[in-house]
Amino acid sequence: MIKCLKKTSELLLEREKEISPVGFVPTMGNLHQGHISLLEEALKEFKVVYFSIFVNPKQFGPTEDFHRYPRTLQNDLLLIEESIKNFPGLKVVVFAPENPEEIFPPAHKDVLSVSGLSTVLEGKIRPGHFDGVATVVYRLFHLIKPTKAYFGLKDFQQYLVIKQMVKDLSLPIKIQGMPIIREAQGLALSSRNQYLSSEQKSLSLVLFKTLSKIKEIIDHKKINLPKAKLFIEDTIKDPKWNYLVLRDSETFQEDLTLSTNITILAVYQMGTTRLLDNMQVEVQ
């Protein structure tokens, strides 16, 4: 069963009816199998799942693609309907406000910022981006009051920002990171992949291949980190790399001395499209 609501007032009335705990999947729509994997995981754990589709203006910079970002609600609903056929008797409430004022009333001035995490790497390139993410997610948490929320690990820094926000504010919500879903050749699924030409899509496989190569160099051993860093230094001479770095998977720090798990994070610029990806490797 699917219900699609477009007004906050409708959402609040629906939420008041729920007796059992609910799971939550926040998205900006233009859904692909990565988003659907989050929904299906939530449906394995909850009888009722709330699923938001909202293109958040607060996380787009002045030169970014807010107006260009694809809005495909009808197709999104079809994908959700197809997915829940495997979960008879369960309920999905889709919250798809068309007007940003449904999320951010005119008097809403609060902005949430997660110190440190929000201003490095992706946050440095896109100032204010993670403040916009934290603000909208907190607002949705406030409206929906989920027990658990699901986020794809492709946006790894975003995942850490949300986890830290929940911790800082002592919110009673568990944040579940879910594995990256990839195309057969390795490209991570993203709504922005559709901006790529067939030639660009083929060339962009360098991102997955590079991450895989670095993981192979590290080979689960800290002793191999200097070799991996030399490889990275040579690789980023290509200006198409916005960044290619190693970070501790828990602290997001550059110091890997005490790390047991390392995340390799990268953004590769393919024309006007920024391709974001990461890969993790356990080390000892």
Q: 129-144 vs 156-168: helix axis angle to the nearest 10?
A: 60
pLDDT in the model for residue 105: 87
- List the beta strands (DSSP E) in the chain: 2-5, 22-27, 48-53, 91-95, 148-152, 174-178, 241-248, 261-270, 273-282
The CATH classification of domain 2-178, taken from the options 3.10.20.30, 3.40.50.300, 3.40.50.620, 2.60.40.10? 3.40.50.620
Task: Please state, for a pLDDT cut of 90, what percent of the chain lies above it.
Answer: 91
Do the domains at 2-178 and 191-282 have one common CATH topology? Answer: no
Q: What is the pLDDT of residues 75-96, one digit of tens each?
A: 999 999 999 999 999 999 999 9
Nearest to 275 by CA among 182, 213, 184: 182
Beta pairing partners, 3:
93
Average pLDDT (62-71) is: 81
- What's the rounded Cα separation, in Å, for the pair 51 and 93? 6
Asked if the model's pLDDT at residue 194 lies above 80, the reply is: yes
CB 218 within 8 A of CB 283: yes
* Residue that has been written with the tokens 């916005």 in this structure: 242
Query: Which fold does the domain 191-282 belong to in CATH?
Result: Pantoate--beta-alanine Ligase; Chain: A,domain 2 (3.30.1300)
What average pLDDT score do residues 131-159 get?
Answer: 97
Give the per-residue pLDDT at 107.
77
Domain regions of the chain by residue span: 2-178, 191-282
Residue 10 pLDDT exceeds 80:
yes
The residues that are catalytic are 35
- For 85-143, what is each residue's pLDDT tens digit? 999 999 999 999 999 999 998 877 789 999 999 999 999 999 999 999 999 999 999 99
Structure tokens given for 115: 């110190």
